[in-house]
Amino acid sequence: MKPSRACAYCGTRGKTEREHAIPRCLYPRSKAKSRVQRILVPSCRRCNAGWSDDEAHFRNVLAVSGATTQAVEELWETTIYRSFREPDGVRRLVDLYEQIKQVELDGRLRNVIYPGKDPRVLRVIRKIVRGLCHHHGVGTAIPDERVWADVLTFPIPDKLMSELTLRHAEQDIVEYYFEPSSAPPVHSTWFLRFFERRPFVALVWLTDVSDAERRALVTSS
């Protein structure tokens, strides 16, 4: 622990720990020595301890949603299967099972998970964005209520993508883009993709915005 630093999430001053802005559990064993994306930010003990359960659930949900990749397969073969054998493994399996919905696709019933409908998944996305805001020096101790996040369900226009800067290049784990906004009350816009094909979008507000204003802004985006 390091003294006299402010928590990147709540702003509390005092002793802090180093917290991974991108959850460490997303990295398979083959990435153990990777330093490309191990972004660390200061966090008080209370905030640091408040993420681990949701982050493991976040990893598990992403691992079963969409096509697989080499990184995801490695996670399944190691940390995910091992986590299900831990004392709380049954609960983790139940948490995952409860997110599975049976839908008809192409005339066949399929089991599907919708990460954007899981509040714990979106809480982790908001936490990641808040930590990255601190890391990039565009804001710190941003309250959770000032971040909106969802699964990206539409293609990003090429013109918009050409104006964004890729902030990270370890694509098999996570890549993200962000740009500060010149259109208040939006503070910054974020696009994140995990395991090469699970995209999310997030908006950070300059100040607290009412639910009605938020819905209107998101709908018009």
DSSP sequence for the chain: -EEEEE-TTT--EEEEEEEESS-GGGS-GGGTT--SS--EEEE-HHHHHTTHHHHHHHHHHHHHSSS--HHHHHHIIIIIHHHHTSTTHHHHHHHHHTTEEEEEETTEEEEEE-GGG-HHHHHHHHHHHHHHHHHTTS-SS--GGGEEEEE--SPPPHHHHHHS-B---BTTTEEEEEEE-SSTTEEEEEEEEETTTEEEEEEEESS---HHHHHHHHHH-
Question: Do both 51 and 82 map to the same domain?
Answer: yes
- Whether residues 31 and 93 share a domain: the answer is yes
What predicted TM-score, i.e. pTM, was given to this entire model? 0.88
Q: Mark whether 209 and 178 lie in a shared domain.
A: yes
Same domain, 151 and 103: no
Residue 1 in this model has a pLDDT that exceeds 50:
no
Question: Do 80 and 38 fall within a single domain?
Answer: yes
State which of 69, 91, 115 marks the end of a domain: 115
- Are 111 and 6 in a shared domain? yes
- Do 79 and 133 share a structural domain? no
Total domains in the chain come to 2
pLDDT, one tens digit per residue, over 30-49 is 887 776 667 899 999 999 98
- Are residues 7 and 103 part of one domain? yes
Shared domain check, 86 and 127: no
Same domain, 140 and 108: no
pLDDT value of position 32: 74
Please compute the mean of the pLDDT values over residues 4-32 and round it to a whole number.
89
Out of 64, 92, 115, a domain closes at 115
Q: Same domain for 111 and 143?
A: no
- Specify the pLDDT at position 3: 46
Residues 7 and 109 in one domain: yes
pLDDT digits (tens, 9 = 90+) for 110-156: 888 889 999 999 999 999 999 999 999 999 999 999 999 999 877 77
Of 94, 115, 136, which one is at a domain's C-terminal end?
Answer: 115
pLDDT the model gives residue 212: 62
Containing structural domain, residue 184 = 116-220
